[in-house]
Structures are given as structure tokens and as C-alpha cells.
Structure 1
């Protein structure tokens, strides 16, 4: 929470942390020195600074420190290598511990420390109940000032914590004489010039008289800026002082993101549905426009295919009927052409009967293109009929079969070496009846049929 100080607490053993535990504390606005120091219970600190972030100094009884050597590794591989290196020193599964380690030195040395995970979780839970947020766990030696030409040590509850270098240290129980002797021997082996003690110099150290010792007040420990490394609490779910409330915030943000996503999905689905309905309506309208006899469109594609197929079948049947009508007319009225037909062409509702060369029934006039403009003496359709051609002097009149064919509803038009037959246009009265819907001419298509006969 913005504006709250950060707290440093000197913890008792983790299992003994309770809301009524009286602890040494210091409050920091940003960095050392502290803005306030004193002793209060956890509950009082939580009521005074609810939501404050806490850096907790571990008790030596909870902490195990070791020095290992590692080759150059990436950050991810280093974590795995550290766990594998200290596993032989643990009394249980590595997953039951919280592990922290420092940077790799030039000689490959790495300082490692660990605490019991369940004890750390219990202490973190107690702090949360008091309204405080655990951020990090400091190894005990790093609470002490950095040494200059010697070691800095602190005796507390039958344990001694020693900071031997900027990022190194160790803890020892000193209740037994053997432990004291070990510390004396180790300091002598390192060739220490002096030992700095926090508070006062222990009597048993002064009695050895080998290494000079000085004492500094506990106040010096609160001036330390930050440790070179610490034990993180990320896996406890309390990283950066966030506890249960962080999970609630995370859950709330996740729920909000899900709601936004669902809302966006619904909007997108609505747009797709609207586009689909619009497309379906447009297709239905196009089907009705193309096929006016379709009044209700349910399945546009299927209905359009059915109508198309029906029209194609109707057109084909009409073409077949028209061709049959013209063939029947040719058979009935052009008996003179029996055995003399070289080719039959059917196209656009007209049947061309092409005769062999030298056939007596061929037209005696120059054929006129059907595409020419109407002229006086032409039929009602704008095409020049054979009966409209005046006979030249000395030539016989038009054959009688042409008049008979026209009486039977055929139009006869001369073409080169043959005749063109088509259904005659309806009379004006028939055209009126056709407009009134009583009759109709079959739809014509671009179909074409050619029947050819080889010349002998």
C-alpha cells in the first residue's frame, strides 16, 4: 500500500511466531536509517501499519547455510544445480524446504541457505492474520554489518551468527564447548586480525585472548541497506508481500478478463449472426427475383437448383417439340426432297433444309439474309417469305407446297441450295390472346442440331 513504511522484524524461531510475540522492529520509509525502532507485538504492528511489507530476519535455529561450487550456468540451470548440490546435506525432500542462494563468485563459490517450508508457511500465515505481508526472509548473518578486515558475530539464544564476507556467513550453536572450540579454531585458521561482536563480547571469547575483539551496539545492524541475497517466499504465495489478498486480486482480474472475453465473443457472435441473416435475406430476395414463381424461400440453394433444372428441362422439351414440329412439316410438305437432302441444320427455332446440288426443288431466287431490315412485301416477322418473291419473267410461279406449308403454320424462306422453315408468327388476334395469357410461344434457346448427308 502506497505511503506505508517497510518493516524489518527480528523473528523468534518460526514455530514460535504468534500474534502476541514481542519482536524487535524497525520501520523504513525507503532505505536506512530507519524512521522508527522499538519492540511491539505482531498484532500491534498490524493494527498500526495494516498491509505493510515485512522483511523478516531469521532466527539462527531455523537456518542452514552452506558453501558450494558450481560451474558457469544460466539462471534456470543454476537453480537446479543448487538443489542437486545441497540435497545430500538435507534431512528430507528438497521440496519441503525454501532455498535461497547468492551470486557465483569468481572461484565458483556460491552461498546457499534453506529453511523448512512448513514452518515458513505457518509464520507467513500468522503475519497475514495480523495484517502484515511477508516479502523476504533474511539469512541471520546478513542482518549484521559487512566486515572490514575481520568477522562480525552476534550471539543470540545459544547461537552465534557470523558474517565472514560481503555475501558469506555461517551459524553455529555455542551451547557446547566443542562448538566454541570449533569457532575459535576456524577464526584462527582464517588468520583474523579482529572480531566485531554485536552488543557485547562473550566472556568465553575474551578468555581465549588470541584474537582482539570489539563490540558495537545493535543499532549498527539496523543501518544495513539490504542483504546480498535472501530466501524468497514466492512458492508460499506471498511474493512481494501479497498473501491471500493477492490471490483474491488475481482471481478478480482473471474473472474480469474472462467477462470481457465472453462479452467480446458474444458481440462477435451477434455480428456474425446479423451478417448471416442479412446474407440469407439477400439470397432469398435474389432467388425470388430470378424465379418469380417461388413465393416462399426456405432453402435458397436447393430451391434455386430445382428451378434452374426445371427451366432447363422445360427449355429442352420445348426445343424438342419445336424441332419435331418443323421436321413433321418438312416431311409433309417437301416430299419432292426425298433422297435429295444433303444436310439439316436446326438453330434458334429454324430448320435449314440444304439440298444436293442440281436438285430441282432448290429455290430459284437469290436468298435474302434473315437479318436484313424489313421491306415492303415482307412477312409480319420482317423476313422475306418465299411466297412474297415475285416470279421473274419466264419462270414458273412459286411451288404450291410453300402455300400449303404456310397454311399449316410454317414460314418458308429460301436459302442457298435449300429452304429455311420456322414456325409462323401468330396472327394479330392470336397475339392479343397471347398477351392476355391464353396462349404462349415456347421459350427458344441457343440449341442447335445439324444432320448432314454425305454427297454420293
Structure 2
């Protein structure tokens, strides 16, 4: 037991914030450090963070010893309650009951007090800032063979204040006053769980976006590498593709409708069904050759496809010898111009 404060309570029904209370600060080895008397409302500062053992007024608790037959530890409380029921003068639901361990001979020390006054007193003590860890019946807070067991603890503090205290008390959790934090603890806990799930969801979504971005980057690098094989290392595919396009345009002078980019854009507008299915692209002498992957759906009305190409001054044809290969050129470019027979 570490350093603590022992407090002598008046009758619970008389306790107020102005009540003068005798106290003693006791070291863990049982030595008296300091004693005095202060109004309850000032005791919080005196106690600080020390645990407080409140000694009940003599008449506020009934203490007795009962005999309990051998029972499992989980059923000891029920056995104690059953044993004291004939002895209690009040409804058991209105009592606060506590007990110690069962001795080898079956003896059990038990105490009880009225539930409501104890609960109200505990709330008042907590309001004063006291950290109550035990409510000890007067009879159990005195030395063995005390010459005057009926006399309350008072000043000056002497050996009567320093007796070993039992390891149990009437400070049961069911009566513990709810602090401001206690009332919100459950809500705060659920908020923390929700925040953790939200963070995990964000991390998962970020990882998913990162994977998609990496796949897109690799796809762009692959497309640029196929279109411009002369680029040794692709770091920024968009910028490098733009630079290569500009370089091609500058090397050939002013852009015309027969340039690769203009032809590719017009072809993409006509062959919109090929979107996402372009496996390879080749441009030579005004002819753009597209090799498509399987899985696309070509238009059933080839006349409509030819008309759409004609509107854009294109000539489209499907390679007669190779599946999934299409050729596009400007309407004015002939096979002789391209070198195709």
C-alpha cells in the first residue's frame, strides 16, 4: 500500500462540503506523515492524487462474521447474500453489501450499509476532488483489541489511525460516481474505433489509387515506347511524347493533314470501337496501320463506317490477309504513293 490519506467521516446523512473532517496521511509502511482537520471542500487540495480510504461512522455500517459452506469463488457472493438476508432489516436491494475472503474454517467477514446515503456521500467526496478507493467500516479500521471501539477516530492522530486495513470495502463499482470523462468514455471509445476504421479505409483507398496510377504509368510508358522506339529511357511519357511529336513536326515543316498526328486523330474518331484494343501502330508514307487485339466489336454496317471515314477525308480498309489489322490514309493518297501493291 503506497502513501494514502485516511479520512474519518461523520454520519453520512450529515456530510456536506462544509463538514470539518479529521484526516491522516499515512506512508505505505504504516508511518504517520501528517494529520489535521479541514472542511471537505478544501480536502481535495490536501489529498492531491493520493488514494483516499474513507472510514465510515460507527453506526453507518453493520459488520458481522458469518459461516459459509464450501462454494466456488464465483458463487461466494450469492452465498453471502443468502446468509445475511434473515439478518438484514432492510430490503437487500437498498443495501450495499461487501465481504472478505472465506477463511479455511468457513468464516467470512461481511458488512453492509444503506445504499443511497453511501452513493450520495461518494458523489459529494468526488465533487471535492477526492479519489476514494475504499469505504472502510469503523470497526474494521481500528487496531485489534482497541480499548474503546465505539469511539470515532479523532485528533490527535495516534495508533488508532494506523491499523492495517482490510483488502475489501464497501466502495463497490456500481455506486462509483460517473466523472465527466466517465460519462463520455464509451462514446469516445466508439469515436476512436470509427476514426481508426476511417484511417484504415483511407490507407486502403490510397493504396488502390497508387496501384491504378502505377498501372496507368506503365501503360503510358509502353504506348510511348511503341510509338517512339528511338527514346532510350522513358521517365515522363507524356512530356517525352509531346517532345517527339513537336520534333517530328519541326523536321517536316508546317503540319498538314497527312502528318501522323492529324491522321491518327481522324482515324481514332472513325474507329472508336477500337478504343482500348490497339496492340500496335505503324505509320509510313502517309498510311497508318493499326493492329488490334481480340475482343473488339466491329460495326456491322461497313458502308456507314466508310461514309464516316469519307466525311473526314479518310480511306479505311481492313487488311485482307491479316486479321485485326486496319489501314487508314488520306483519300488523296494512292497505293502507288505509299508503295503498297
Class of the TM-score when normalised by the shorter of the 2 chains = 0.5 to 0.7
* Alignment partner of 1:440 out of 302, 305, 320: 320
Aligned residues of 1:8 and 1:54 also touching (Cα < 8 A): yes
Unpaired segments of 5 or more residues in structure 2? 227-270, 278-293, 299-315, 325-341
1:95–1:51 CA distance, 2 compared to 1 (3 A): farther
1:309–1:43 CA distance, 2 compared to 1 (3 A): closer
1:152–1:281 CA distance, 2 compared to 1 (3 A): farther
* Residue of structure 2 equivalent to 1:188: none
CA separation in 1, counterparts of 2:274 and 2:13?
A: 86
CA separation in 1, counterparts of 2:320 and 2:169?
A: 101
Correspondence list, 1:183-194, <5 A: none
Q: Kindly indicate whether residue 75 of structure 2 is the aligned counterpart of residue 77 of structure 1.
A: yes
Query: Alpha-carbon deviation of 1:38?
Result: 2.1
CA separation in 2, counterparts of 1:438 and 1:132?
A: 92
* Residue of structure 2 equivalent to 1:267: 202
* Residue of structure 2 equivalent to 1:334: none
Correspondence list, 1:12-23, <5 A: 12-23=10-21
The TM-score, its normalising length taken from structure 2, stands at 0.58
Q: How many residues align?
A: 243
* Alignment partner of 1:11 out of 5, 9, 12: 9
Q: Deviations for 1:31-72, whole angstroms, at most 9, x for unmatched residues?
A: 422211122211222243344432111112211223222233
CA separation in 2, counterparts of 1:309 and 1:438?
A: 14
The RMSD of aligned alpha carbons is 4.1
Aligned residues of 1:146 and 1:152 also touching (Cα < 8 A): no
* Alignment partner of 1:154 out of 149, 153, 162: 149
* Alignment partner of 1:221 out of 141, 151, 160: 160
**Which SS does the other structure have where 1:110 is aligned?**
strand
1:51–1:272 CA distance, 2 compared to 1 (3 A): same
Kindly name which structure, 1 or 2, has the bigger radius of gyration based on alpha carbons: 1
The TM-score, its normalising length taken from structure 1, stands at 0.45
Aligned residues of 1:64 and 1:115 also touching (Cα < 8 A): yes
Query: Alpha-carbon deviation of 1:120?
Result: 1.1
CA separation in 1, counterparts of 2:134 and 2:190?
A: 29
Unpaired segments of 5 or more residues in structure 1? 158-197, 200-216, 298-306, 312-435, 445-456
CA separation in 2, counterparts of 1:90 and 1:280?
A: 78
CA separation in 2, counterparts of 1:131 and 1:439?
A: 92
Aligned residues of 1:32 and 1:222 also touching (Cα < 8 A): no
Aligned residues of 1:28 and 1:35 also touching (Cα < 8 A): yes
* Residue of structure 1 equivalent to 2:170: 231
Query: Alpha-carbon deviation of 1:89?
Result: 2.9
Correspondence list, 1:60-71, <5 A: 60-71=58-69
1:279–1:77 CA distance, 2 compared to 1 (3 A): farther
Q: Deviations for 1:426-451, whole angstroms, at most 9, x for unmatched residues?
A: xxxxxxxxxx957614759xxxxxxx
Q: Deviations for 1:293-331, whole angstroms, at most 9, x for unmatched residues?
A: 53169xxxxxxxxx64969xxxxxxxxxxxxxxxxxxxx
CA separation in 1, counterparts of 2:141 and 2:197?
A: 51
Q: Kindly indicate whether residue 281 of structure 2 is the aligned counterpart of residue 294 of structure 1.
A: no
Aligned residues of 1:57 and 1:143 also touching (Cα < 8 A): yes
CA separation in 2, counterparts of 1:78 and 1:258?
A: 37
CA separation in 2, counterparts of 1:276 and 1:79?
A: 60
* Alignment partner of 1:138 out of 126, 136, 139: 136
CA separation in 2, counterparts of 1:439 and 1:8?
A: 101
* Residue of structure 2 equivalent to 1:37: 35
CA separation in 1, counterparts of 2:12 and 2:133?
A: 15
Aligned residues of 1:46 and 1:131 also touching (Cα < 8 A): yes
Query: Alpha-carbon deviation of 1:15?
Result: 1.4
